[in-house]
């Protein structure tokens, strides 16, 4: 084929209904009578629900008015949020000390964003996390550097939600690894103990563990010793999450080829060395996507502490709504809270999906 | 040929090895230590508990089962009043949990499958709406969703006097969802029996049809005939019984509705929240299951000449189901476990009743133990089913 | 024809470096190794061949306790292999093993793969371990890949790294479990060349392989195993030109 031949061939354009906007509409919305019917139905339903929703949420609504002004409108009263914002987010944290939980949350958010890059996954990152959590704890509790002590009973709102999720996850992870290793052990007593623990915890709802920890823990301790409520809830969350992490890590361990264990053995490495230097670094990397999924679940499940009267961000919202001034605006408050949760959870789940794709092709 | 030595292996007599260096004995030592620690810790907690219970004069044991409960329960499938025993109250709770779980599982499976298939649709609008539904429902905590729906009922819906009445016989108000049901008539049980009979007959007809196909090669449309009969025969029965049309309509008497069926706001909120939340996860499972069938399978099936319906029935469904059923059952279990959140919105499920019992009798340990045992029974039954299913359906491999 | 094969070895005067006496192994009821008697002299090179399922891999894996024997004695360099953990660790440090599927650690660089054992088992300081590692990498002609990861190397290169990794532990004996079976044909030679160099330097080697050319040119003894027993063993000339047993003849006719 000479160049001139190919150049002379007339440049035919595809039919106009196959390209451009019309083409897209045809393939995606109207490709068959069946699809066209569906499209019309969907558009009809959207037309039925979206305009009234927009009217309620945006047109007839008030965004920063007094409670009385809200009573006279048909639309959404978003004012419930700005007026109670500090209480919803920070709860009972003392006035004037609000900068501490805010700083703690900002540090946590910063670290989360920093950790997203895979190139930064080194041992130093683990230390960074540990230090960050200690700083967070210190900021919240106070007692040093002139910061007045704030008891855990006053920790509430979004900081409490974050403390419960992240501390819970970080402490539960090593416990989960031990349980996974124990479950794969050849020693029957160890294996049975681990299997019984894992299956029992996974078989019951988190609420029963929260009940157990808040009602039963005081009975387990000798007279006079008390644990504060936040710690009790944290222990329940840790025990619960560890069982799920154990199953996920077990999957990673099972995916390791036997040859890795054998090569380490033949070099003379002990069990501890083999696990620490050869097996776990590889296995844990494989299970990072499902682990992020567990973190996501923990974050959502912290809302359950409402039931044992801990003031996480859901409970502070409910307290706001029980105020007679703002009663009746539950929809608006809950929608705001839902957006907050959605932003965080959606970011985490899409990150997890992206990670899974990257790790899959990277191998 | 040297005779094979088939006697059982015996350990060689060896120089005494210090036990901490002997691999076998070290394992035993570690296990003994572990059991000792666990046992010791348990004993410590146990003795503390006994002392504390004695100090607070709380009874132990399940003697309270026979005592009078003296609290009302909002809704119940069986007859119950405050003078009944705790045991009966707890039974009411279990039945309520099962009711929500049963209806919830059916609705979730249907909704989840529809949304999952819609997500894969070639219609861009449908697939994006399904995707939005999945993302939104998955990423909002289920408890928040429950509170939201509950708030819709008691805040946004009008009182009975100004109830919403979109169609005659369907009423929405802040007392719940009220709808009309057919008035009791002997036609309906008869229709029920005929329906069951058609299903059983249809199953036998299917088997006979398959055998006939194996022998003669002619397909017998047992499925289509069964579907037709299951619609026609009950309708015929209805006619024969005089075509009763009387409806038990809800009517406003005083402040509330009498007649028809009332589903409380608590029940509706719990059901709605659980079904919407769980169906988002089921949709993803169904989608993944269908997508797991490689395109090569579908192409090969088409190349043989199978029609789209047959491709679906013979090639796609059996393989997709294998991938879908295990995670699906664990979602069903999650729904059952999540139903325990009913205690937060006032629906009287088992956890809620047990909680009231604990508060009244002070016997926290028995109460929490009961809750955990009941749910463990649910989970273990599901696990057993799952194991049976997996063994039954495992692809035979080399 | 049926008495237990006697130990045939050129210089049976020194103390054997590996002694296996009356060894049996069962997998459950299956008798996988039956009455194995084998003495290996220092610097001796033994090639073990046989059909699949004959137990040859199992045999050498018993020598570094990757598998346990139920009856008989295995003594490696004076240490008897038993349930004694200290003995097992001592033997493993003295015996190097090269696997069919290389089994390099994919998350570590080549250099780190080699220094892992010396640092953590022999407690060698890192700098010294790295110097030794680089020396062995040069020996197997792969020094320029030291900072790369196993996934970036070809099969032949990975196997050479695996050999270097075992050598870093300064073993007395090297075991090879079908080292070239997983390699593409064009890479077999580079690995065999390294093994030949090793043999010429006087390393005691037990090699399970199908590469009969290697056996002919390097081995002091060739051993045929079938059905869990050592059927025949001889010097290569005798073994290949004048096999004694029917089973040996059948096997040789199938592979040569």
Task: Check if A15 contacts C (Cβ < 8 Å).
Answer: no
CA distance A252 to A254: 5
- H helices of chain A, in order, are 3-8, 20-28, 33-54, 67-71, 80-90, 99-115, 123-141, 158-183, 188-203, 206-211, 217-220, 229-255, 258-266, 271-273, 280-286, 288-301, 313-322, 330-362
CA distance C20 to A148: 74
HSE value, Cβ hemisphere, 13 Å, CA-based, for A108 = 25
A35/B35: higher pLDDT:
B35
Judged by CB atoms closer than 8 Å, whether chains meet at C165 and A278 is answered as: no
A361 pLDDT band, cuts 50/70/90, is low
Mean pLDDT of C186-215: 93
Q: How many CB atoms lie within 10 A of CB B231?
A: 12
Judged by CB atoms closer than 8 Å, whether chains meet at C2 and B2 is answered as: yes
Q: List the structure tokens of A228.
A: 């504060």
The three-class DSSP label of residue A355 is helix
As beta bridge partners, residue C80 has: C75
Q: List the structure tokens of B91.
A: 């039974």
CB B357 within 8 A of CB B293: no
Sign of CA dihedral C165, C167, C169, C174: positive
> How far B395 CA sits from the closest chain A CA (Å)?
20
Is the pLDDT assigned to residue C102 strictly greater than 80? yes
Per-residue pLDDT for chain B (398 aa), expressed as one digit of tens each? 444 455 555 544 445 667 667 777 888 888 999 999 999 998 888 888 888 888 887 778 888 888 888 888 888 888 888 888 888 899 999 999 999 999 999 999 999 999 998 998 888 888 999 999 999 999 999 999 999 999 988 888 888 888 888 877 788 888 888 888 877 777 888 888 888 888 888 888 888 888 888 888 777 888 788 888 888 888 888 888 877 777 778 787 777 777 778 888 899 999 999 999 999 999 999 998 888 887 778 788 878 777 777 777 778 887 888 888 888 988 999 999 999 999 999 899 999 999 999 888 888 888 899 999 999 998 888 888 888 887 877 665 53
Top mean pLDDT of A99-103, A216-220, B281-285 is at B281-285
| Residues of chain A neighbouring C95 (CB-CB closer than 8 A) | 266
Is the pLDDT assigned to residue C244 strictly greater than 80? yes
Chain pair A-C, CB pairs under 8 angstroms: 58
pLDDT value of residue A363: 40
B275/A82: higher pLDDT:
B275
Nearest to C82 among B2, B17, B26 (CB): B17
HSE value, Cβ hemisphere, 13 Å, CA-based, for C149 = 6
Closest by alpha carbon to C140, among C219, C81, C198, C199?
A: C198
> How far B29 CA sits from the closest chain C CA (Å)?
14
CA distance B173 to A338: 25
* Residues contacting C51, CB < 8 A, separation 6+: C226, C251
pLDDT value of residue B155: 82
CA-only gyration radius of chain A, Å: 27
| Residues of chain A neighbouring C117 (CB-CB closer than 8 A) | 267-269
| Residues of chain B neighbouring A200 (CB-CB closer than 8 A) | 372, 376
Mean pLDDT of A162-187: 93
Task: Check if B16 contacts C (Cβ < 8 Å).
Answer: no
As beta bridge partners, residue C40 has: C18
CA distance C224 to C255: 13
Mean pLDDT of A258-287: 91
pLDDT value of residue B37: 92
pLDDT value of residue C187: 93
pLDDT value of residue B170: 82
- Digit-coded pLDDT (tens) for C22-71: 999 999 889 999 999 999 999 999 999 999 889 999 999 999 889 999 99
**β-bridge pairing C229-234 and C221-226:** antiparallel
Task: Check if A202 contacts B (Cβ < 8 Å).
Answer: yes
Query: Residue A225 — φ and ψ, nearest 5°?
Result: -90, 125
Judged by CB atoms closer than 8 Å, whether chains meet at A266 and C95 is answered as: yes
* Residues contacting B180, CB < 8 A, separation 6+: B169, B170, B247, B248, B249, B250, B259, B260, B261
pLDDT value of residue A61: 81
The three-class DSSP label of residue C97 is strand
Task: Check if A281 contacts C (Cβ < 8 Å).
Answer: yes
Assembly ipTM: 0.86
């Amino acid at each position: 084929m000479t160049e001139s031949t190919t150049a002379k061939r007339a440049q035919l354009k595809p039919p106009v209904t196959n390209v451009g906007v019309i083409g897209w509409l045809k393939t995606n919305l109207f490709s068959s009578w069946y699809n066209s019917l569906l499209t019309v139905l969907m558009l009809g339903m959207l037309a039925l629900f979206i305009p009234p929703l927009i009217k309620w949420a945006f047109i007839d609504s008030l965004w920063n008015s007094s409670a009385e002004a809200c009573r006279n409108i048909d639309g959404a009263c978003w004012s419930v949020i700005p007026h109670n914002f500090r209480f919803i987010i920070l709860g009972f944290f003392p006035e004037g000390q609000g900068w501490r939980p805010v700083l703690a949350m900002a540090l946590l958010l910063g670290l989360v964003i920093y950790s997203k890059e895979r190139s930064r996954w080194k041992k130093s990152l683990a230390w960074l996390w540990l230090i960050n959590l200690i700083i967070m704890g210190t900021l919240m509790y106070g007692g040093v550097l002139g910061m007045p002590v704030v008891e855990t009973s006053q920790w509430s709102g979004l900081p409490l939600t974050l403390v419960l999720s992240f501390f819970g996850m970080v402490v539960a992870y090593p416990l989960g690894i031990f349980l996974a290793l124990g479950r794969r052990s050849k020693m029957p007593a160890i294996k049975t103990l681990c299997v019984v623990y894992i299956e029992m915890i996974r078989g019951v709802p988190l609420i029963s563990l929260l009940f157990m920890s808040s009602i039963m823990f005081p009975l387990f301790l000798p007279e006079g010793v008390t644990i504060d409520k936040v710690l009790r809830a944290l222990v329940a969350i840790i025990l619960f999450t560890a069982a799920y992490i154990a199953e996920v890590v077990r999957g990673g361990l099972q995916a390791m080829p036997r040859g890795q264990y054998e090569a380490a053995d033949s070099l003379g490495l002990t069990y501890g060395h083999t696990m620490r230097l050869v097996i776990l670094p590889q296995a844990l990397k494989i299970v990072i996507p499902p682990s992020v999924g567990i973190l996501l679940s923990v974050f959502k499940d912290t809302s359950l502490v409402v039931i044992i009267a801990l003031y996480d961000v859901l409970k502070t919202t409910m307290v706001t709504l029980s105020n007679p001034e703002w009663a009746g605006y539950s929809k608006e408050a809950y929608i705001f809270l839902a957006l907050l949760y959605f932003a965080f959870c959606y970011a985490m789940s899409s990150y997890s999906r992206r990670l899974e794709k990257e790790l899959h092709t990277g191998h | 040929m040297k005779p094979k030595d088939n006697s059982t292996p015996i350990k060689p007599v060896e120089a005494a090895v210090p036990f901490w260096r002997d691999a076998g004995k070290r394992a035993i030592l570690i296990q003994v230590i572990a059991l000792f620690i666990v046992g010791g810790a348990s004993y410590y907690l146990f003795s503390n508990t006994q002392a504390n219970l004695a100090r607070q004069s709380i009874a132990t044991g399940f003697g309270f089962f026979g005592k009078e409960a003296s609290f009302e329960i909002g809704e119940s499938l069986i007859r119950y009043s405050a003078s009944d025993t705790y045991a009966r109250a707890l039974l009411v709770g279990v039945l309520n949990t099962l009711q929500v779980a049963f209806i919830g599982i059916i609705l979730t499976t249907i909704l989840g499958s529809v949304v999952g298939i819609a997500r894969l649709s070639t219609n861009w609008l449908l697939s994006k709406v399904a995707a939005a539904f999945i993302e939104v429902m998955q990423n909002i905590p289920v408890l928040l969703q429950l509170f939201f729906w509950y708030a819709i009922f008691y805040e946004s819906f009008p009182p009975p006097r100004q109830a919403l009445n979109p169609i005659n016989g369907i009423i929405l108000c802040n007392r719940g969802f009220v709808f009309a049901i057919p008035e009791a008539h002997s036609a309906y049980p008869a229709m029920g029996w005929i329906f069951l009979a058609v299903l059983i007959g249809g199953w036998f007809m299917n088997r006979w049809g398959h055998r006939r196909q194996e022998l003669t090669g002619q397909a017998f449309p047992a499925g289509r005939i069964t579907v037709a009969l299951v619609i026609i025969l009950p309708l015929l029965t209805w006619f024969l019984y005089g075509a009763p049309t009387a409806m038990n309509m809800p009517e406003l008497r005083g402040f509330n509705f009498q007649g028809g069926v009332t589903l409380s706001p608590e029940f509706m909120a719990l059901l709605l929240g659980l079904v919407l939340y769980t169906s988002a996860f089921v949709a993803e499972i169904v989608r993944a299951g269908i997508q797991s069938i490689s395109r090569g399978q579908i192409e090969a099936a088409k190349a043989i000449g199978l029609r789209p319906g047959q491709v679906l029935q013979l090639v796609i469904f059996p393989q997709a189901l294998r991938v879908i059923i295990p995670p699906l059952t664990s979602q069903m279990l999650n729904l059952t476990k999540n139903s325990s959140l009913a205690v937060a919105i006032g629906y009287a499920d088992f956890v809620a009743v047990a909680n009231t019992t604990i508060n009244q009798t002070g016997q926290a340990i028995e109460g929490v133990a009961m809750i955990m045992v009941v749910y463990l029974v649910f989970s273990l039954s599901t696990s057993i089913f799952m194991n049976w299913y997996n063994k039954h359906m495992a692809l035979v491999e080399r | 024809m049926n008495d237990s094969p006697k130990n045939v070895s050129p210089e049976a005067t020194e103390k054997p470096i590996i002694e296996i006496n009356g060894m049996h192994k069962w997998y459950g009821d299956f008798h996988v190794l039956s009455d194995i008697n084998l003495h290996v002299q220092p610097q001796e090179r033994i090639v073990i061949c046989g059909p699949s399922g004959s137990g040859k891999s199992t045999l050498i894996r018993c020598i570094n306790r990757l598998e346990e024997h139920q009856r008989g004695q295995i003594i490696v360099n004076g240490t008897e292999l038993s349930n004694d953990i200290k003995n097992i660790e001592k033997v493993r440090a003295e015996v190097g093993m090269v696997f069919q599927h290389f089994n390099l650690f994919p998350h570590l660089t080549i250099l780190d793969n080699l220094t892992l054992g010396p640092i953590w088992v022999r407690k060698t300081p890192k700098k010294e371990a790295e110097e030794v590692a680089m020396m062995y990498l040069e020996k197997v002609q792969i020094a320029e890949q030291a900072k790369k990861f196993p996934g970036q190397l070809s099969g032949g290169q990975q196997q050479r790294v695996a050999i270097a990794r075992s050598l870093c532990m300064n073993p007395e004996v090297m075991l090879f479990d079908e080292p070239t079976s997983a390699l593409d044909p064009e890479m077999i030679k580079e690995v065999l060349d390294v093994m030949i160099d090793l043999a010429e330097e006087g390393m005691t080697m037990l090699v399970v392989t199908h590469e009969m050319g290697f056996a002919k040119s390097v081995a002091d003894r060739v051993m045929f195993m079938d059905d869990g027993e050592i059927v025949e063993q001889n010097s290569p000339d005798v073994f290949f030109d004048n096999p004694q047993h029917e089973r040996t003849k059948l096997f040789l006719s199938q592979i040569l």
